[in-house]
Structure 1
Amino acid sequence: MSDRETILIVDDDVTFGDILQRALQRRGIQVDVARDSQQAFTLIGKRNYQKAIIDLKIGKESGLDITEELLRRKPHLHVVILTGYSSIATAVQAVKKGAANYLCKPADADEILAAFTETKKSPAAIPEQPPSIDRLAWEHIQSVLAAHDGNISATARALGMHRRTLQRKLSKRPVKH
């Protein structure tokens, strides 16, 4: 057993996972990469990881569900969720599921490592530019989707829109702030 810090990366983006793995290894950290939940669950049973970096969307899987299961198996694990699809609703869900932090991609290795120890002691800064109407709509859709446990049909009914319209909106990248 080594005293080296160990981190598990769970991300289906091969390029991003490999780049992050190399960057962390250059910092003296033992890193393994899982491309899906099954690989992550197998690896977590074989090694005592201190930290995990988990993408929010891994193929058709939810990084939040993977986080919950990994923490059930290894309660001491510190988790940071990474996503290219950030929203307040998913950030709240991530924290409720046990994540230590939630970061938007792109994030470099130093930002990710800092997210494991960062604590928010000061109030969040109020942005000079308020979010756009499109961004607010995206946030609302995400919160209604979260309230309906990811059920697209129930969310569409709650929002008063056609299911396919909602699916189209969800397949697009989030609107910038």
Structure 2
Amino acid sequence: MNEAILLIDDDEAFSAVLARSLTRRGHVVAVAHSAEAALAVADAPPTRIVLDLNLGGDSGLRLLPLLRQRWPAAAVVVLTGYASIATAVEATKLGAVQYLAKPATVDDILAAFEQVSANPELPLAPQPMSLKRVTWEHLQRVLAEHDGNVSATARALNMHRRTLQRMLAKKPVKN
């Protein structure tokens, strides 16, 4: 197996545990905690990249095109603690093969690299999203449309900027 995996995550504890688990499974793992460190990796080119969406306040989506340009053959899985439909769509448009919400197991991540095409056998969600979740998704979509600019997003939604900031500071609601 011995795939070369580049793990890009600003959470040092999480990335250390994940790197150790991947290494135990026979993978060669390089870890970077920032966009600059990821692009400076001089080891063998990675065949797989795990990219955190939030890199110390910066968006992993901004790094994704640079990774695809530097290593076009590498498969990229985006991993995030703040999943939204808008960022999932954007990540796949930018070249990610999969998008996973944390917490994700090593098995989930490795399976995501294998699942690069549509699978009609996957089960559907048992119930529709709650109104709170739909609201969260809408906020994330409009925020992505305005390149993360909270003031522009608030104007587009016709709401006060501080109200939007409070809403965005909360963790995403469950289904």
What's the offset of the Cα at 1:123?
Answer: 6.7
Matched with 2:129 is 131
What's the offset of the Cα at 1:39?
Answer: 0.5
CA distance in 2 between counterparts of 1:110 and 1:154 reads: 39
CA distance in 2 between counterparts of 1:135 and 1:175 reads: 6
Q: Which runs of 5+ in 2 are unaligned?
A: none
Aligned pairs for 1:79-118 within 5 A? 79-118=76-115
TM-score (norm. length: structure 1): 0.93
Aligned pairs for 1:27-106 within 5 A? 27-43=25-41, 45-106=42-103
Runs of 4+ in 1 over 3 A off after TM superposition: 123-126
What's the offset of the Cα at 1:127?
Answer: 2.7
**What RMSD in Å do the two structures reach over aligned CA positions?**
1.5
Q: Which moved more, 1:125-134 or 1:48-57?
A: 125-134
- DSSP-derived class of the 1:99 partner: coil
**Quick one: percent identity of the two aligned structures?**
51
Q: Which amino acid aligns with 1:32?
A: A
TM-score (norm. length: structure 2): 0.94
CA distance in 2 between counterparts of 1:127 and 1:36 reads: 34
CA distance in 2 between counterparts of 1:111 and 1:36 reads: 23
CA distance in 1 between counterparts of 2:121 and 2:24 reads: 34
**Aligned pairs, number:** 174
Q: Which amino acid aligns with 1:106?
A: P
What's the offset of the Cα at 1:12?
Answer: 0.8
CA distance in 2 between counterparts of 1:135 and 1:123 reads: 25
CA distance in 2 between counterparts of 1:39 and 1:97 reads: 20
Q: Which runs of 5+ in 1 are unaligned?
A: none
